[in-house]
Amino acid sequence: MALIVQKFGGSSVADAESIKRVAKRIVETRRAGNDVVVAVSAMGDTTDELLDLSAEVTPIPAPRELDMLLSAGERISMALLAMSIKGMGVEAFSFTGSQAGMITTPEHGSAKIVDVTPGRVREALDRGAIAIVAGFQGFSRDSRDITTLGRGGSDTTAVALAAALAADVCEIYTDVDGVFTTDPRVVSVARKIDHITSEEMLELAASGAKVLHLRAVEYARRHGVELHVRSSFTDEPGTIVYDPEKGHPKGEHMEEPIITGVAFEKSEAKVTVAGVPDVPGKAAQIFEIVAKTNANIDMIVQNVSGADTNRTDISFTVPLGDGHRVVGALEAERELLAYESLQYDDQIAKVAVVGAGMRNASGVSAQLFRALYEAGINIEMISTSEIRISVVTRADLMEKAVRALHTAFGLDADSEAVVYAGTGR
């Protein structure tokens, strides 16, 4: 008998009909002889509706009260799901984040899980019941208050429960068939990936792949939780995200593909500090100033200094939302830094190719450069990890770059993928 954690997002439980459909699937998993724990998001638009109400009441809601408000969303969906399952003759109990032992830091809106004490979930399983747990929410022992986990919260709840309960697998139900070699809405011949290592998934999620939240993937990787990303609309297997140290889930020793997928995003801006005196310690000064704005720097490029000027250009990328803060901080220190000009460019995109096979393959970057060159796409910045190469291009060339790389690395399928709409929380 396996212990399976299943996560259903908001679009999977958008109305009474879909709740019943999800309940049926959960009951089938239970009747197949498995112990089942479910993490569920708020129904469809509930969160947005609650946010709208909050905005009508006050422009800047108190974070504690906003968490209290939003946590009502999962309370509704989990109770409806549990009563629907019970209506099908299978014992089920719903638990709030607090009842399920999701202990977090006290930061409202972005709490981090510090402990999981799922005693009541275990008791429910021991009684043969299905446990339905509110995703996205937790409880701080310090403040004794309800918290929410922020973006990717429900996925993280599911993974954290799977880790704490030593579940056999954590199934993430979504509105697509699994993880694809790239977004099928951009590349119609994208292919579903059957198996992917957790490190590859991590790189893809960090580079903009939306199907799984980076945070949940990190948690799963750290705790050795096997993920199964699959569609809530079909019974087809989806994508298994596995720990390579435990070996391939099918016991296969097939050669890893050099490139597993292509990810992309337009969420960053490029800041260029031009004409910086090329003296030791200048870059450190710049990044100390940027660090004080709490902006997350992603890629950094420093040009070779012009021999005659002894000045250099330093470019880096930051999240779009942080860009203007960073520029302001640098402008305020113009005299100290003694640069010639400051440029801000939010028309950039980042495209990344990811593959564990890259470790043992040579010529991957040459292949990437040629593919982009032949597509007429200029590379503005580059960064690499052991299993990833990311490039910055013009934003309006992003999709062209993705298609060129998808084809160049042999990822194109023979037929087009089916694309669904909508995303969960």
Contact positions vs a second copy (CB under 8 A) = 16-17, 19-20, 23, 50, 53-54, 56-62, 64-66, 68-69, 71-73, 75-76, 78-80, 82-84, 86-87, 92-94, 99, 120, 144
- Which is closer to a second copy, CB of 21 or CB of 248? 21
> Do the Cβ atoms of 119 and 160 come closer than 8 Å?
no
Contact 357, 255 (CB under 8 A): yes
Which residues, 6+ apart, have CB-to-CB distance to 243 below 8 Å? 197, 198, 221, 224, 226
**Least CB distance from residue 250 to a second copy, whole Å?**
38
Residue type (1 letter), 217: V
175 is in an annotated binding site: yes
Q: How far apart are the first and last CA of the chain?
A: 30
Nearer to a second copy, 60 or 284 (CB): 60
Name which of 88 and 301 has its Cβ closer to a second copy. 88
- In the bound state with a second copy, the residue whose beta carbon lies nearer, of 232 and 390, is 232
Pair 208, 253: CB distance under 8 Å: no
Q: Does 174 belong to an annotated binding site?
A: yes
Calpha distance 323→368 (Å, rounded) = 29
Q: Is 326 annotated among the ligand-binding residues?
A: no
- 189, 416 Cβ separation under 8 angstroms: yes
Distance CA 125, CA 93 (A): 10
> What would the 3-class secondary structure string for 122-157 be?
HHHHHCCCEEEEECCEEEECCCCCEEECCCCHHHHH
185 annotated to bind ligand: yes
Minimum separation from the CB atom of position 121 to a second copy (A): 13
Compute φ and ψ for 46, nearest 5 degrees: -55, -45
Answer left, alpha or beta for residue 166, where phi above 0 means left and psi between -120 and 50 means alpha: left
Kindly tell me which of 85 and 387 has the beta carbon lying closer to a second copy.
85
> Please, what is the minimum distance in Å from the beta carbon of residue 72 to a second copy?
4
- Bridge partners of 349, per DSSP, are 393
In the complex, least distance from residue 30 CB atom to a second copy, rounded to whole angstroms: 16
> Was 47 annotated as part of a binding site?
yes
Identity of the residue, 91 or 399, whose beta carbon is nearer to a second copy in the bound complex: 91
Closest approach, Cβ 69 to a second copy, in A, equals 4
Annotated binding residue at 74?
yes
Minimum distance from CB of 11 to a second copy (Å)?
A: 17
Q: What are phi and psi of 38, to 5 degrees?
A: -120, 135
Q: Which is nearer to a second copy, 71 or 154 (CB)?
A: 71
SS3 of the chain: helix, strand, coil, percent, to 5? 35, 25, 40
Q: How far apart, in whole angstroms, are the C-alpha atoms of residue 80 and residue 72? A: 12
Which CB atom, from 148 or from 174, has the smaller least distance to a second copy?
148
Q: Which residues pair with 115 in a beta bridge?
A: 103
Backbone φ and ψ for 180, nearest 5 degrees, come out as -105, 160
Which of 17, 414 has the CB closer to a second copy? Answer: 17
Q: Which two tokens stand for residue 425?
A: 């929380």
Q: How far apart are CA 267 and CA 400, in angstroms?
A: 17
Minimum distance from residue 143 beta carbon to a second copy (Å): 11
Shortest reach from residue 278's CB to a second copy, in Å: 52
9 known ligand binder: yes
Closest approach, Cβ 163 to a second copy, in A, equals: 24
Check whether 156 is labelled as a binding-site residue. Answer: no
Cα–chain center distance at 42: 18
Handedness of CA 365, 367, 371, 376 (dihedral sign): positive
99 or 383: CB nearest a second copy: 99
User: 101 among the known binding-site residues?
Assistant: no
Residue 246, judged by CB atoms within 10 A of its CB (0-12, 13-18, 19+), counts as exposed
> Measured from the CB of residue 108, what is the shortest distance to a second copy in angstroms?
12
Question: Which residues are annotated binding-site positions for ATP?
Answer: 7-10, 174-175, 185, 210-211
Question: Which residues are annotated binding-site positions for substrate?
Answer: 47, 74
Question: Which residues are annotated binding-site positions?
Answer: 7-10, 47, 74, 174-175, 185, 210-211
